[in-house]
Structures are given as C-alpha cells and as structure tokens.
Amino acid sequence: MLRYDQTVATARTAEALAQGFADGLVATLRDEAFMHRLWYDLRSQALFEESFRADVLAIDESLERMIWRIVSRFGELGGTPLTVTSPVAYAMVDGLFQQALLRYLSGSENALPDLREHVVHLLSGLTQPASSQA
C-alpha cells in the first residue's frame, strides 16, 4: 500500500496519478501473484468459514480505503467530481485486478498491458466530465 501512497503524494496531474496507479497494480500483480492468489482464495473461503470473516472484512476495508484515496485524489487533480462511491470504486478496481490475475496465471501475454489500460480508462470514467458540470 505504501507504493500507492507514494503515487498519490507525488502525482501532479490526474493523468500521472492514473498511470502511476496502473503501473503499481501491474507491478504488484506481476511480482506478487502468489500472494494475491492466496488473498482471493481466503476471501472466497470467508463465504463458507465464519472464522475468516472478521479478518477478511478488515483487510477488504483497508484495500477499499487505499483505492478511495487514489480515486478521490484523481478527481481532485482533474478538478472533476466523482460519480461513484468508495465501495463501487473498489469493486470495479478489484474486479479488473482479479480478472487480470486469472489471465496472468493462465499465461496471457496481454494480461498486464490490458490491466494497465483498463485501470487508466476506468479512472477516467469515475469522474464527471468537465463539460457536464453545472
């Protein structure tokens, strides 16, 4: 998470933040795929095993806060209001990441570049275009 805090702190434009965040997600997926695979397994197991739920919820909330710091800073840097809530933003980023992880583990050569592209595109879609602001 520190990798993303650095990105938030140093980005001077919305575009730089989006690129830095996307690059960070790609790097963590590539370098820590095994850990992420275990996370998704643990999160799924929490649906069946009550003893996992409190810890999984705590980790999930922490991840949501991290994503929200990035998304809200993206809106600030771009001077555009957000069109989603924190849980929705997290669900969308997490969904993209989980799909990319599966594709990466399956040997897809496009998994990482697609994740980068999709995250940048997603961030742009989470804010209201300047022309439609009242």
Domains and CATH numbers, the chain: 2-129 (1.10.357)
Residues 6+ apart with CB under 8 A from 33: 101, 104, 105
- Asked whether residue 75 carries a pLDDT value surpassing 90, the answer given is yes
pLDDT at 9: 83
What's the whole-number mean pLDDT along residues 4-12?
Answer: 82
Is 49 in a helix, a strand, or coil? coil
pTM here? 0.90
Residues 6+ apart with CB under 8 A from 120: 18, 19, 22
pLDDT band at 105 (very low <50, low <70, confident <90, very high): very high
| Residue 127 dihedral angles phi and psi, to the nearest 5° | -120, 155
- Name 82's bridge partners: 127
Residues 6+ apart with CB under 8 A from 55: 46
- Asked whether residue 104 carries a pLDDT value surpassing 70, the answer given is yes
* End-to-end Cα, the chain, rounded Å: 35
pLDDT band at 5 (very low <50, low <70, confident <90, very high): confident
Name the average pLDDT for the chain.
92
pLDDT band at 40 (very low <50, low <70, confident <90, very high): very high
